[in-house]
Amino acid sequence: MHELAITEQIAEIAIRHGEKNHAQKVTDLYLVIGELSTVIDDSVRFYWDLITDQTICKGAKLHFNRVPAIFLCLDCEKEYRLSEGDLTPCPHCGSTRMEVRQGKEFYLESINIT
């Protein structure tokens, strides 16, 4: 059910920007989604057609650009990636103190309109 609310928000933004630019149709949406965002592409696609049926977004294609998660170790100050989706200590020094540098993004970057 999470994805339903999210898909409605995506449609709302795309329609608003489409109308502002006098679009007849929105044909493509380019979304940026961090690895740590809990969003399932297939579920969004599933709801997309239902939600946009009567709108200028009908039939628009969804493009998902997945951004990998990158952490910064607060002790040795080196960056590291998430290994296989698991929460792991810093591979350089073993510290568990870290902050998320990248991977929580979730935004609509651009749309194509006609």
Give the interface with other proteins as residue ranges (CB under 8 A).
1-2, 4-6, 9-10, 12-14, 17-18, 21, 23, 27, 31, 36-38, 74, 86-87, 89, 96-98, 100, 106-114
Tokens of 92: 């350089």
Spell out the alpha helix ranges (H) of the chain.
2-20, 41-52
* Nearest approach, Cβ of residue 67 and other proteins (Å): 14
Cβ nearer to other proteins, comparing 28 with 53: 28
Cβ nearer to other proteins, comparing 53 with 107: 107
Cβ nearer to other proteins, comparing 51 with 113: 113
Nearest to 34 by CA among 93, 100, 78, 96: 100
Looking at residue 110, the DSSP 8-state letter turns out to be E
Q: Could you give the CA distance from residue 85 to residue 30 in angstroms, rounded to a whole number?
A: 24
